[in-house]
Structure 1
Amino acid sequence: MSTLVITSTQNPFIRQLAQLKDKSRERRKTGLFLIEGEREISLALKGNYELETVLFYPELISQEQLNDLTNQQASTIEISKEVYQKLAYRDTTEGVLAVAKSKDHDINHLEFSTKTPLILIAEAPEKPGNIGAILRTADAANVDAVIIANPKTDLYNPNIIRSSVGCVFTNQIATGSTSEIITFLKENNIDIYCAALQASVNYHTQDFTKPTAIIVGTEATGLSHEWLESSTQNIIIPMQGEIDSMNVSVAAGILIFEAKRQRDFL
């Protein structure tokens, strides 16, 4: 069967995909988003994301390579260099993009395979690069879930997909308001450890082997009062320099890997 070929950037379907790439509102309205690159598509498939369409530029990837990547799970469209450049977010990728269906990230859909889950929560992170770095840390530590409280940007922003190197697809992720998340944690008897300056103890003095949620806020504003009021214990990473805070993804990495260190001794 012959493959559909699209060469014009003014093609209505291509213009719709360009909207998916650029506009969060379009992604929310359609429930679709764009994935760029072989690694990212492979991780999305591993994460049980459903692909609707795969587009490829044959100068960079062959139909055979495409079939190996997607196991022919979606229809394919060959596109021209001009179309690829219009849709691609990065300068150097492998000539392949996919249209995928987004997932429902309702907090009540979280499932844990252990009685002592380890959860990383970030409140109101704004920068896609920070969110991507947090997701990479969470994947590296194999946490049980990542929760974004009061999200400022949607998870399928191309910058998040790119900066997370596809880890947006490998983590179990939920979103919700701070109050919804606190209710969920308390109902499930999960201890709340807030990274904060106020009323804090050194992070390594706490027992993270029980059901644990570690909460980090933005470097600029920290955590909201609602989190601090609900905290089991506020924790702090001692600073030895002149400043009193560090990048949120770095702080998250230190705290999460301390929890993993403790659990490895069980």
Structure 2
Amino acid sequence: MTTKLISSANNPFIRQLVQLKDKSRERKKTGSFLIEGVREVSLALKGGYELVTVLFYPDLFSEEQLNDLTVNVRLSAPDSYRDETQLNCIEISKEVYQKLAYRDTTEGVLAVAKSKTNSLGDLVFENKNPLILVAEAPEKPGNIGAILRTADAANVDAVVIANPKTDLYNPNIIRSSVGCVFTNQIATGSTSEIIDFLKSISIEIYCAALQASVDYHTQDFTKPTAIVVGTEATGLSDAWLENSTQNIIIPMQGEIDSMNVSVAAGILIFEAKRQRGFK
């Protein structure tokens, strides 16, 4: 394994990586994104993401850790390409690391990875009775990250984001999801595309909404089910309500009639898991 050293934050490649970190447009144009942290890089490999470059700050990330990472990259590659897999490893200075990293607690390693398409057609359901979480137009990366953590904890079969307001590889989503953006099966699409997709595979649609709703725990979520949540501000669009199997509501005992979308998603998903015996 050979490595090279970049010590200047003004290096053209480092400036390109800063753009990759900060600009959704750059991530979409290049089909790649930046990952920060040992856990996040490991989960990306486990999730089948292809790493192109690893950057490490040797005061925080040892040569032994780097060797282990390169071995894991080779082992995660398809058998036919395993012997040809070469990881570009770059040692970086403290100045460069601080330019690229969001926080000081990510153990001195970053990686450039290739994005996935995250299309509805890529979804594969090994479970014949899938449980799917759909979120329409979530805006805040922190909420998206929390939704993905909930989905991972419940081991749902897929997370689908309708009309996304930000790309999945926004570093704030990667960070707030603690890498669960890599552990979930995720797809994006328009509301109409997703409704058509769910109907095409005979999925019951349960929409969290105030209108014409019943208490969530009265419904049977043991069949192939999609639980759909919207934002606190606007709720779900009419298209979801018109195509809902049943609208559901979480009864409130306080003064407000809504809660954070990630909290609501957690309550509804874990009720479905309870009904299914947490299988």
Give TM-score, length-normalised by structure 1: 0.98
Q: Where does residue 215 of structure 1 map in the other structure?
A: 228
**Alpha-carbon distance in 2 for matches of 1:157, 1:2:** 30
Report the RMSD for the aligned CA atoms in angstroms.
Answer: 1.1
Aligned pair in 2 of structure 1 residues 70, 164: CA closer, same or farther (>3 Å)? farther
1:42 aligns with 2:42: yes
Choose the corresponding residue for 1:129, options 137, 142, 148: 142
What is the alpha-carbon distance in structure 1 between the residues aligned to residue 257 and residue 233 of structure 2? 11
The corresponding residue for 2:17 is 17
Contact kept in structure 2, 1:105 and 1:173, CA below 8 Å = yes
1:63 maps to what in 2?
63
Q: Is the 8 A contact 1:145 1:173 kept in 2?
A: yes
Question: Which residue is equivalent to 2:54?
Answer: 54
Counterpart CA distance in 1 for 2:53 and 2:249 is 46
SS of residue paired to 2:248: strand
Which of 229, 250, 253 matches 1:237? 250
Aligned to 1:75: 88
Q: Which residue of 2 aligns with 1:168?
A: 181
CA pair 244-149 structure 1, distance change in 2 beyond 3 A: same
Name the aligned partner's letter for residue 16 of structure 2: Q
Q: Following superposition, which runs of at least 4 residues in structure 1 exceed 4 angstroms of deviation?
A: none
Structure 1 stretches lacking a partner, 5+ long: none
Q: Unmatched 5+ residue regions in structure 2?
A: 74-86
Q: C-alpha distance in 2, partners of 1:138/1:211?
A: 16
Deviates most, 133-142 or 74-83: 74-83
Match of 1:29 in 2: 29
User: SS at 2:180's partner residue?
Assistant: coil
Q: Aligned partners of 1:84, 1:231: CA distance in 2, in Å?
A: 48
The structure 2 residue matched to 1:197, chosen from 207, 210, 228, is 210
- 2:277: which partner in 1? 264
Distance in 2 separating the partners of 1:231 and 1:2: 56
TM-score normalized by structure 2?
A: 0.93
- Classify 1:265/1:89 alpha carbon distance in 2 versus 1 (closer, same or farther; 3 Å): closer
Partner of 2:132: 119
> How far apart, CA to CA, are the structure 1 residues paired with 2:2 and 2:274?
54
Paired residue type of 1:77: I
Preserved CA contact (<8 Å) 1:38 1:69: no
| Residue aligned with 2:124, SS | coil
* Alignment equivalent of 1:86, drawn from 63, 87, 99: 99
| Structure 2 match to 1:4 | 4
Looking at structure 2, the residues matched to 88 and 224 of structure 1 have their Cα atoms a distance apart, in angstroms, of 37
| Percentage of pairs with the same residue | 83
Q: Distance in 1 between matches of 2:154 and 2:133?
A: 10
Once the two structures are TM-superposed, the CA of residue 241 in structure 1 deviates from its matched residue by 0.5
Cα distance in structure 2, aligned partners of 1:126 and 1:2: 42
CA deviation after TM superposition for structure 1 residue 93, in Å:
1.6
Deviation at 1:260, TM superposition (A): 0.3
The separation in 1 between residues aligned to 2:89 and 2:108, in whole angstroms, is 13
Contact 2:2-2:89 within 8 A present in 1 as well: no
Letter in 2 for 1:66: L
Write the deviation string for residues 158-190 of structure 1: whole angstroms up to 9, x where unpaired.
000000000000000000000000000011100
Tell me which moved more, 69-78 or 100-109: 69-78
Q: Say whether the 8 Å CA contact 1:42–1:70 is kept in structure 2.
A: no
- Paired with 1:2 and 1:110, the residues of 2 have a C-alpha distance of 37
One-letter amino acid of the structure 1 residue matched with residue 226 of structure 2: A
The residue that corresponds to 2:114 in the other structure is 101
SS class of match (2:276): helix
What SS does the corresponding residue of 1:264 show, helix, strand or coil? coil
- What is the aligned length? 266
Partners of 2:202 and 2:3 lie apart in 1 by 54
For the residues of structure 2 that align with 1:115 and 1:2, how far apart are their CA atoms?
A: 46
Cα distance change, pair 265–23 in 1 and its aligned pair in 2 (3 A):
closer
The corresponding residue for 2:83 is none
